Amino acid sequence: MRSAGDNAHIGHRDSHFDHIGNVQTSRRRFLGATLACAAAGVLVPACRCSREDSDQEHAARPTPPEVKTDDSLFAPPDSEPTIRVRLQRVRGADAAVQLGLADQWMRVTFDDATGRGLVMRGVIRATRHGDQWRVSDESTGTQRVFGARMLLIQPLGIEENTVALNQRQYSGLLRLADRSDLDEHAFDIINELPMEQYLPGVLARELFSHWEQATFAAQAVAARSFACYEHLHNRERRHYDVTDTVHSQAYVGAVNLEAARRAVRDTAGLVLGAEKLLVPGYYSSCCGGTAASANLVMGSNPANALPPLAGRIGTDVCTESPVYRWTIERDLSVLSRRIAAFGESQHIQTVAKLHTLRSIQPSGTGPTGRPTQYTLTDTNELTVALSAQRLRYAANHRATDLDDYGRSLPSSHVDVTIKSGVATFQGRGFGHGVGLCQYGAQALAKDGRGYLDILRWYYPGVSIVKAYDSVVNRRSILG
């Protein structure tokens, strides 16, 4: 999942990339800087679409009750899901959130069986204290106290059908979810809305606005498939399905970009399928010419072993990407200590014991020829094997006692040369390389390929299934 930006995860996730507010302006600035450099830089990260969650808070929570249904493989949904998107984590005694616009009327409702609530006007300010919410509005300046675990915020009025948050507009409703398991002031902000209303806000962030309509349509099907899978996987596990960042797939709320809205309309309800099962629609910015296999990158989830996610054989067409090839140099001493610090943080003692590295060599490849494992050897002849993705995360690891390394490694497909105290990474692509390659999809679309052909190219053997409007209309339109 990701933007002509990236979609890398580990759990797919490049937590090293910041979420950009003004998407198109930021991308244009970055692209201009990238093309001006002799060495290709890194684009705005896009969808991660990976199975692991880099959210440390989530990882620290108690194990949820056992889910009785199969939590790895799912049939396509037979009705439109309501997607739950976590927009913000509000933490700390002084933390507060402001929602809405001046003179806007909104309804604040308890999320309980009573349906109690009240109408408030203007910008709403909300904080959490122990087991209570404290909410004030612009019109009265008075504070209201609520004892519910969650609050629902919805706009009132025909014209005002969105709620403002952080200079963006959101359709559906906003749910303020108590997180007192972390601290007495903590809560999450969740946007709940129908899948088809959610997707335009993904496409507007994931693709450049001037790209071909077929690229948008292919991305719509992939993004819908990923979001449907995450919804089915997480519906009984946690209080949200996806985040609005590249750790899931980027999302900017309600948008008016016609290319995005049209692509969602033209592909309404269509998802990726195989063997009557839903295929998670992984995607990345640029595969660098060689696809990756989901089961070797995203983890051992049985869904990742579905045939369309094995990766296409052969060279891809994404050569126009500014990050099709790139070179990054790192100080060898600092890199070695950074990788050891990563090992310490992940409790991998063999990695934590590494000293100055002598070599980093590929020692395993997937069926498409993309490296899946590297062997690291230090000057004491200690040898350690790391998966390709872990090598990338280790090289990009943030350590408080080490200088900032500048640019992150955009992908794990690298050749590494060590000489004169410098490690030179010659890399390919941006992101994990699984599924749809956004720059490649754009190249195919410019060559006249339709979105079904693009999806067949990147998900070999896939079927495109009409999952909903209704069960009666479910059918396969692509063998």
**Tokens 């690891």 belong to residue:** 397
Q: Which of 230-244, 255-269, 293-307, 465-479 has the lowest mean pLDDT?
A: 465-479
397 and 463: one domain? no
For 98-130, how does the pLDDT look when each residue is reduced to its tens digit (9 = 90+)? 999 888 888 888 766 566 778 888 899 999 888
Q: Is 59 helix (H, G, I), strand (E, B) or coil?
A: helix
Residue 213 lies in a domain: yes
Distance of CA 223 to the CA centre of its chain: 10
Closest CA to 262 of 313, 314, 203: 203
Closest CA to 256 of 209, 302, 320, 220: 209
Query: In sequence order, what are the beta bridge partners of 90?
Result: 187
- Tell me which residue range forms the domain holding 76: 60-196
239 and 167: one domain? no
Residues listed for the chain: 479
pLDDT of residue 16: 26
For 201-224, how does the pLDDT look when each residue is reduced to its tens digit (9 = 90+)? 999 999 999 999 999 999 999 999
Dist. CA 234–CA 341, nearest whole Å: 32
244 and 307: one domain? yes
Tokens of 246: 């590249």
Residue 275 lies in a domain: yes
Residue 7 lies in a domain: no
163 and 64: one domain? yes
172 and 276: one domain? no
Closest CA to 287 of 404, 439, 397, 445: 439
How many CB atoms are located within 10 Å of the residue 416 CB? 20
Q: Is 67 helix (H, G, I), strand (E, B) or coil?
A: coil
Residue 156 lies in a domain: yes
Q: Is residue 479 predicted with pLDDT exceeding 50? A: no
Residue 459 lies in a domain: yes
145 and 87: one domain? yes
pLDDT of residue 78: 93
Q: Which of 304-308, 333-337, 429-433, 475-479 has the lowest mean pLDDT?
A: 475-479
**Domain finish residue from 196, 214, 238:** 196
Which is higher by pLDDT, 152 or 12? 152
pLDDT of residue 214: 98
298 and 378: one domain? no
Residue 50 lies in a domain: no
Q: Which of 230-239, 388-397, 402-411 has the lowest mean pLDDT?
A: 402-411
Q: Is residue 394 predicted with pLDDT exceeding 50? A: yes
Helix (H) or strand (E) segment spanning residue 475: strand 475-476
**Tokens 């490849």 belong to residue:** 365
Provide mean pLDDT across the span 299-322.
95
Residue 2 lies in a domain: no
pLDDT band at 403 (very low <50, low <70, confident <90, very high): confident
Q: Is 373 helix (H, G, I), strand (E, B) or coil?
A: strand
75 and 186: one domain? yes
**Domain finish residue from 141, 163, 196:** 196
Q: Is residue 48 predicted with pLDDT exceeding 70? A: no
183 and 93: one domain? yes
pLDDT of residue 405: 79
**Domain finish residue from 138, 168, 196:** 196
Provide mean pLDDT across the span 138-166.
80
For 267-299, how does the pLDDT look when each residue is reduced to its tens digit (9 = 90+)? 999 999 999 999 999 999 999 999 999 999 998
Distances (CA, A) of 75 to 81, 139, 232, 338: 13, 49, 9, 43
pLDDT band at 20 (very low <50, low <70, confident <90, very high): very low
Contacts (Cβ under 8 Å, ≥6 apart) of 411: 8, 288, 392, 427, 428, 429, 430, 431, 432, 433
Helix (H) or strand (E) segment spanning residue 136: strand 132-137
Q: Is residue 7 predicted with pLDDT exceeding 50? A: no
180 and 206: one domain? no
144 and 291: one domain? no
pLDDT of residue 193: 95
Distances (CA, A) of 381 to 14, 356, 359, 377, 390: 31, 10, 10, 6, 20
Dist. CA 386–CA 328, nearest whole Å: 20
pLDDT band at 160 (very low <50, low <70, confident <90, very high): low
Contacts (Cβ under 8 Å, ≥6 apart) of 151: 108, 109, 110, 111, 126, 133, 135, 175, 176
Closest CA to 393 of 91, 17, 107, 5: 17
Dist. CA 391–CA 373, nearest whole Å: 8
Q: Which of 129-138, 286-295, 392-401 has the lowest mean pLDDT?
A: 129-138
Q: Is residue 34 predicted with pLDDT exceeding 60? A: no
Q: Is residue 401 predicted with pLDDT exceeding 50? A: yes
Provide mean pLDDT across the span 309-327.
97
Provide mean pLDDT across the span 163-191.
91
Q: Where are the beta strands (DSSP E) in 171-313?
A: 173-178, 187-194, 242-243, 270-274, 277-278, 283-284
End-to-end CA distance of the chain: 24
Average pLDDT, the chain: 84
413 and 439: one domain? no
pLDDT band at 411 (very low <50, low <70, confident <90, very high): very high
pLDDT band at 17 (very low <50, low <70, confident <90, very high): very low
Residue 24 lies in a domain: no
What's the structural domain count of the chain? Answer: 3
pLDDT of residue 325: 98
Provide mean pLDDT across the span 150-162.
81
